[in-house]
Chain A
Amino acid sequence: GAVVSQHPSRVICKSGTSVKIECRSLDFQATTMFWYRQFPKQSLMLMATSNEGSKATYEQGVEKDKFLINHASLTLSTLTVTSAHPEDSSFYICSARDSLPPAGVGNTEAFFGQGTRLTVV
């Protein structure tokens, strides 16, 4: 199946610094990528939808100036956590979809990156 690569897998940073997380689709083009946040023992919460060549669409309650998303090409989306604080510590995971088929046609699996565990100290 298609592969989505996410880097880094783990990062520890100091409070006040910024951290960039990359999400790449390795063997397909993804016009849309999604960024999720997952706290321990909780579900994945959608943060934003990243659209190639245009501004990201953020979910309600997500600060767009805090979580900067750039989708500069059909294979790369980045999430930058700006001025990170300990409460930003979490597991961040991206996903990408290869195509948008008509309803009921085929498998529309979304492929996930390996996730990034961010710890802000």
Chain B
Amino acid sequence: AQKITQTQPGMFVQEKEAVTLDCTYDTSDQSYGLFWYKQPSSGEMIFLIYQGSYDEQNATEGRYSLNFQKARKSANLVISASQLGDSAMYFCAMTVYSSASKIIFGSGTRLSIRP
């Protein structure tokens, strides 16, 4: 069975600083994908970044990068130059391609950016 763990319930960061949100996962499958989603107070789920298990390079999308360490089974999200609008819940998620591709989520990290 797969599992996603986010150990930081909440984080406070000064505006313009970089922040790393931790995520570890567990699966015995070799073929899987990792996601990060942002959920503002409105409730919508905003896709940020994706990393496939066979991707050799870390994914990057603008200010977001995913620090993928396969041997450690970690997929930390790095947000560079944080902005006030980054304040939200952040969820790490995983899909296993042999398991109907359902996506399971970690418990989330509430990120608050201080001006």
Cβ of B45 and Cβ of A95 under 8 Å apart?
yes
Contact of B43 among A103, A104, A109, A114 (CB under 8 A): A114
Residues of B within 8 A of A111 (CB): 47
Chain B residues with Cβ under 8 A from A42's Cβ? 107-108
B50: Cβ under 8 A from any A Cβ = yes
| Closest Cβ neighbor of B96 among chain A residues | A103
Interfacial chain A residues near B43, Cβ < 8 Å: 38, 91, 93, 114-115, 117
Cβ contact within 8 Å between A108 and B100: no
In contact, A93 and B45 (Cβ under 8 angstroms): yes
Interface residues of B in 55-105 (CB under 8 A from A): 55, 91, 95, 97, 100-105
Say if the beta carbon of A57 comes within 8 Å of chain B. Answer: yes
Q: Is the CB of B100 within 8 A of A103?
A: no
Could you give, for residues 22-45 of chain B, a 1 whenever the CB lies within 8 Å of some chain A CB and a 0 otherwise?
000000001111010100000111
Q: Say which residue of A43, A46, A107, A115 sits within 8 Å of B108 (CB atoms).
A: A43
Given contacts A44-B91, A95-B103, A97-B101, whether A112 and B44 have CB atoms under 8 Å apart is yes
Once bound together, how far apart are the Cα atoms of A36 and B39, in whole Å?
14
A45→B105 CA distance, assembly (Å): 7
Minimal Cβ-Cβ distance residue in A for B33? A108
Write out the residue numbers on chain A whose beta carbons fall within 8 Å of the beta carbon of B30: 103
Docked Cα-Cα span, A49 to B44, in Å, equals 20
The residue on A at minimum CB distance from B29 is A103
Q: Does residue B53 face the partner (Cβ distance < 8 Å to A)?
A: yes
Residue of B nearest to A48 (CB): B102
Given contacts A43-B107, A103-B54, A104-B31, is CB(A49)–CB(B91) below 8 Å?
A: no
| Chain A residues within 8 Å of B, Cβ to Cβ | 1, 32, 34, 36, 38, 42-46, 49, 57, 91, 93, 95, 97, 100, 103-105, 107-112, 114-115, 117
Given contacts A1-B47, A112-B44, 9 further A-B contacts (CB under 8 A): A32-B100, A42-B108, A43-B105, A44-B45, A46-B104, A100-B101, A103-B30, A104-B52, A115-B43
Q: 16 interchain pairs (CB within 8 A)?
A: A36-B105, A43-B105, A43-B107, A44-B91, A44-B105, A57-B100, A95-B45, A97-B101, A100-B101, A103-B31, A103-B32, A103-B97, A104-B53, A104-B55, A108-B101, A115-B44
